Amino acid sequence: AAAYPQLKRDPKFAQVTKEHVQYFKELLGTESALIDGINADAEDDLAPFNGDWMRKYGGQTKLVLKPQTTEEVSKILAYCNEHKLAVVPQGGNTGLVGGSVPVFDEIIINTARMNKIRSFDDESGVLVADAGVILEVADSHVGKHGYLFPLDLGAKGSCHIGGNVSTNAGGLRLLRYGSLHGSVLGLEAVLPDGTIVNALSTLRKNNTGYDFKQLFIGSEGTIGIITGVSILCPPRAKAVNVAYFGLESFEHVRRAFREAKGQLSEILSAFELMDGRSQSLVRESTGNKQPLEGDYPFYCLIETSGSNAEHDIAKLETFLEHVMGEGIVADGVLAQDETQIQSLWRWREGITESLSHLGGTYKYDVSIPLPELYQLVEDCKSRLTEKGLVGDDDSFPVRAVVGYGHMGDSNLHLNVAVRQYNKEVEKAIEPWVYEWIAKRNGSISAEHGLGVAKKDFIGYSQNDTNIKLMKQLKDLYDPVSLSYLHRLFTREMENF
């Protein structure tokens, strides 16, 4: 991956020296808490921290710090603030907008060693955990007590719950369990000057002034580092069913969604969309046989989660009879056991990884009203085809244009897979794609955040007043802007 070319390193930030490293070594006490590329060549050890999941953004850090406690994070930030050392927070480094990459030479503050479950209350379902707990670990922990983590996503095996909260990740269960703005009850965070903010409430209700935690949820590390999370987990459903359908058009998918909402209502826990190309890509990369015999332009995956298996199956069967009988879905399959449930989910969750085998992927994570949701993919495909950029042989830079996503949340993932990252392709899509979304009052980032990929395009989804207010909040939390946590707003703010 190439270094991010568009931004200049801010000269007000100091270079990391051996003296700085010595301070951190003494503070953290153990070799395993630090990767030191200042005193020795540590290129190989630093590489996984310097690159992102998409191999799109390259970082140049020479120092990774892995604190274990909130106090250590506080001391690190206070020191960085005092010595004008830029930092970037990093969790599982699975973000899809380059936000966790030290695109200059920022010190990485990685939460991997902050991995303790602090408490779980099996009466209220409230989990309190360090920010660096891996999402899947948190879910298994509460699972043992009959509860479910209210967020699920394809990167669950490596992303951290602190990273999830910082990006306000949406994922596969939002339709049923809502966004983290609702389920996160409290947070502990460290401000850029080292101040520890303890808002780690476990209460559902607490109307005593401003709700600080909400500002941290989705702010991508710009106003501080989250160190602890308190989150309300719902009971784990006793009966889970998954169905996978083939459909003839996007109109049919919309009708199926309307029917699913109407007939499955309170047990519906996911309604996911996959286009035909996304499924053939998963087939090609895994070698697995597709769940249905025929080829369809659209597929959808429906999950129900309820407390009574018999009731749920009865509802689901009535629904299936209806959508098949009315010709709303062309074909379908219902998972018969947990293994089949997992294997059907892989046809949806595996798309991102299958795309990554093709080379690079330009990712657009948009929210637009349902009627036009898929039109964006068609228009993008036509545009790239007209420009002669799409084709099967090696002379064409674009290998596939696919659309999939969280239909139930009006959230589409438009992915353009390229043999390698290519300026001509990027210029053909951007800012065209953002203009397309803005014309429909959509969001240019429904769930992945701005990172470095989308920060310059914030104006397509937020007006000047909103951006100005964000800047004011940023200044309040990080008044001297010494820590590099301000980087999201550096560019566009020059206009104010």
Please list every residue from 48 through 77 that binds ligand FAD, using CB under 6 A: 53
List strands edge to edge, sheet with 331-334: 331-334, 239-247, 298-306, 268-275, 398-406, 411-418, 360-367
The answer to whether 361 touches 416, Cβ cutoff 8 Å, is yes
Nearer to ligand FAD, 188 or 312 (CB): 188
Q: How many helices (H) and strands (E) does the chain have?
A: 17, 16
Which listed option, ligand 2HG, ligand FAD, none, makes contact with residue 363 (CB within 5 to 8 Å by class)?
Answer: ligand 2HG
Given candidates 150, 221, 291, 306, which one binds ligand FAD under the rule CB under 6 A?
Answer: 221
Q: Is 94 in the site for ligand FAD (CB under 6 A)?
A: yes
184: exposed, middle or buried (C-beta count within 10 Å: 0-12, 13-18, 19+)? buried
Q: How far is the CB of 363 from ligand 2HG (least distance, A)?
A: 4
Which listed option, ligand FAD, ligand 2HG, none, makes contact with residue 233 (CB within 5 to 8 Å by class)?
Answer: none
HSE toward the beta carbon, residue 410, CA cutoff 13 A: 12
Nearer to ligand FAD, 142 or 390 (CB): 142
User: Would you list the DSSP string of 274-307?
Assistant: EEHHHHHHHHHHH-PPPSSSS--SEEEEEEEEES
Pairing of strands 87-90, 107-110: parallel
Among 39-47, 170-178, 241-249, 426-434, the segment contacting ligand FAD (CB under 6 A): 170-178
Among 90-98, 233-241, 276-284, 296-304, the segment contacting ligand FAD (CB under 6 A): 90-98
Measured from each CB, the residue nearest to ligand 2HG is: 352
Nearer to ligand FAD, 50 or 316 (CB): 50
Q: How far is the CB of 382 from ligand FAD (least distance, A)?
A: 27
CA-CA distance, 356 to 96, in Å (whole number)?
12
Question: Position 56: which residue type?
Answer: K
Q: How far is the CB of 191 from ligand 2HG (least distance, A)?
A: 29
Q: How far is the CB of 351 from ligand 2HG (least distance, A)?
A: 6
Contact footprint for ligand 2HG (CB under 6 A): 96, 154, 352, 363, 365, 405, 413, 415
Torsion of CA 278, 284, 289, 293, to 10 degrees: 50
Nearer to ligand FAD, 384 or 437 (CB): 437
Which listed option, ligand 2HG, ligand FAD, none, makes contact with residue 150 (CB within 5 to 8 Å by class)?
Answer: none
Residue 416, phi then psi, degrees to nearest 5: -115, 110
HSE toward the beta carbon, residue 392, CA cutoff 13 A: 0
Q: How far is the CB of 339 from ligand FAD (least distance, A)?
A: 21
Given candidates 59, 67, 150, 171, which one binds ligand FAD under the rule CB under 6 A?
Answer: 171
- Token reading at 495: 């206009």
Q: How far is the CB of 488 from ligand FAD (least distance, A)?
A: 8
Q: Is 301 in the site for ligand FAD (CB under 6 A)?
A: no
- Token reading at 118: 């602090």
Question: Position 197: which residue type?
Answer: V
Q: Which residues pair with 107 in a beta bridge?
A: 87
Q: Is 194 in the site for ligand FAD (CB under 6 A)?
A: no
- Token reading at 45: 């050890």
Q: Map residues 372-411 to x or -, x wherever contact with ligand FAD holds by CB under 6 A.
A: ----------------------------------------
Q: Is 230 in the site for ligand FAD (CB under 6 A)?
A: no
Q: How far is the CB of 128 from ligand 2HG (least distance, A)?
A: 26
HSE toward the beta carbon, residue 322, CA cutoff 13 A: 15
Could you give the 3-state DSSP secondary structure of residue 94? Answer: coil
Binding site for ligand FAD (CB under 6 A): 53, 88-96, 99-100, 111, 131, 153-155, 159-160, 162-164, 166-167, 169-172, 220-221, 225-226, 352-353, 447-448, 451
